[in-house]
Structures are given as structure tokens and as C-alpha cells.
Amino acid sequence: MKIGFIGTGTITTAVIEGLLKSKARLGQINISLRSKKNSSKLRRKSKKIKVFSKNQDIIDKSSIIFISLLPKIASKELVKLKFKKRQTIVSFVSTLNLKTLKKLCKPAKKIVKAAPLPMAKDGLSPTIIYPNQKNVKSLFEIIGAVVVAKNENQNNHLWVMSSFMATYVSIIKMLKRYLQKNNVHHQDANKYLNTFLTGMLFEINNQNFNLDKSVKLLQTKGGINEELLKRLEKDQFFKKMENNFNKIYLRLKKANGK
């Protein structure tokens, strides 16, 4: 199987690095020259990587083509390219719906939307795909877990979760800033937060992801966990977060409804 990537940004690089680490039985991996920094790094990692300056060359030499371009560039670039009927197209572009992709990539019939995350590099990406396609699902299962959306609307809701990554890290950054501001050395702050966050994931899994049970177990009546949670609820922290998720969803819905 020869696969190709149009666009060599952060997500493409993570997916390819994850596939290479997995020792998956893949043939040639054709990638875009841009970004040059990422394509050069990937080429040094494996002889399977072939770099092309023209996107049409990638399409001509691949059976599965991954589209990883910025939304504003994707439509303008795809319309210039010639696809084949039997090729499978996988789009990482959040704001292009299936109807539009089928027009841009015709005569290709197998079109899939996918949302791998940077954790693919370490085989830990929860990847959303829609619709289900056996070969595509199998590829992403190599670099993590796969969730298949039932329809495009559900797909949009699942993609909203991927918008939380930078916010999640910013929350951790705030925790570290608090510790350092109060004279905790950065190495000790890193050690504590790293172990704390990893341990929390295990704790949640130990409760079979029963989040209501975990929230209850982690609070002592009159304790500091209970106090902080009540303060955040009073400030409508969670309600505001949910409202902002809804706004992200509406953006995706609007873009994918075109």
C-alpha cells in the first residue's frame, strides 16, 4: 500500500512518525515538500519517505491520499488536482464537508473525514473518522483508538473535543505558574504535575470512566476539593466552557453546511 500526504504540518508529521514507530507494513509514503522542515525531518527517519514538490505527483503515486491543508488553502488547491476513481481520500480539514470533498476530489468515490491528534506520534491519538472505511480505520488503529461518527452532525460534535487541546495545556500551564509563583522549583512542579495528571487518568479508568462516581470519591465533605469545585461552579466556569464548545460546534456546522 502506497499512501500520500498533501500538506506536511504538525498533524501529518505526527501521523507518519506514529506509523513509522509502529513498524506497520507500509509501502512508500509520499509527502509534500512543504513544510520543508518537517519533510526533511521525516525523510531522514525512513527510506520509505519520498518527498515531492508537486501535489499531483503525490496523487499519481498513492492509493490512499491524506489531505492536511489549511481550510483557506484546501479548496483552492484540491480543485487543481486530478484524482482517480479507485483512490481513497482522507481529509483532515475540519471545515470541508463530504459533499464538497466529493466535488473537489471526483471521480474518487471513497471519501473519509478524519481528525487525528498530535499524540498519534506515540500511538495515543483518539481519531474520529466519518464515514467508516475499513482500510482507513485499520491505519488509524495503528496509532491509537478510533471513534466512528454515525453522521456528519455527530462528527462535528466529536471534532469540538479536539478544540480543547490548547486550553487543556493552558490549564496545566496555569497550575505550574501558580506553583512557581509560590517558590516551587520548576523541576519539582513538572514532576508533581506530570505524575498527578497521569495518576488522575489511571484513577478515572479504575472507576470504569464513571465520572460521577470519581467526582464524588475525590471530594471530602468540607475539604479543599469540595471547596474549589463549588467556587468554580459558582463562577459558572463549566457552564461557560460548555457555551464555548457550543460556539465551536456552530462554527463547524456552518462551515460544513456549505
Helix ranges (H only) for 207-236 are 211-217, 224-234
On the question of pLDDT at 25 being above 90, the answer is no
Predicted structure pTM score: 0.92
12 close to 31: Cβ distance less than 8 angstroms: yes
Instruction: Give the pLDDT score at 24.
Output: 86
Q: How far apart are CA 121 and CA 187, in angstroms?
A: 25
Percent of the chain with pLDDT over 70: 100
Q: Write the pLDDT tens digit of every residue in 76-97.
A: 999 999 999 999 999 999 999 9
Mean pLDDT value of segment 222-237: 98
Given pLDDT bands bounded at 50, 70 and 90, which one contains residue 4? very high
Confidence of residue 127 (pLDDT cuts 50, 70, 90): very high
The SS3 of residue 109 is coil
Judging by DSSP bridges, how do beta strands 3-6 and 64-67 pair with one another? parallel
Query: Rounded distance, CA 175 to CA 68, Å?
Result: 33
- pLDDT value at residue 220: 96
Q: Structural domains in the chain?
A: 3-149 (3.40.50.720), 165-256 (1.10.3730)
Q: How many CB atoms lie within 10 A of CB 74?
A: 22
Could you tell me the CA-to-CA distances from 179 to 173, 196, 197, 198, 253 in Å, in that order? 10, 14, 15, 18, 40
Residue found by looking up cell 474520529 in the block: 128
> How confident is the model over 131-148, as a mean pLDDT?
97
Average pLDDT value for residue range 198-221: 92
Q: Residue 175's pLDDT is what?
A: 98
Q: What is the pLDDT of residue 132?
A: 97
Kindly tell me the burial class for residue 129, based on how many C-beta atoms sit within 10 Å of its own C-beta (0-12, 13-18, 19 or more): buried
The answer to whether residue 70 scores a pLDDT higher than 70 is: yes
Residues 141-180 pLDDT 10s: 999 999 999 999 999 999 999 999 999 999 999 999 999 9
Q: How confident is the model at residue 258 (pLDDT cuts 50, 70, 90)?
A: low
Q: Using the predicted structure, report yes or no on whether residue 23 has a pLDDT greater than 90.
A: no
Confidence at residue 207, expressed as pLDDT on a 0 to 100 scale:
85
* Residue 79 pLDDT: 94
Residue 185: the pLDDT is 98
Average pLDDT, stretch 12-26?
A: 93
pLDDT (average), residues 122-140: 97
For residue 70, give the nearest of 8, 129, 140 by alpha carbon.
Answer: 8
The predicted structure's pLDDT at residue 205: 87
Neighbouring-strand partners of residue 92: none
65 bridge partner residues: 4, 89
Residue pair 142/123 in contact (Cβ under 8 Å)? The answer is: yes
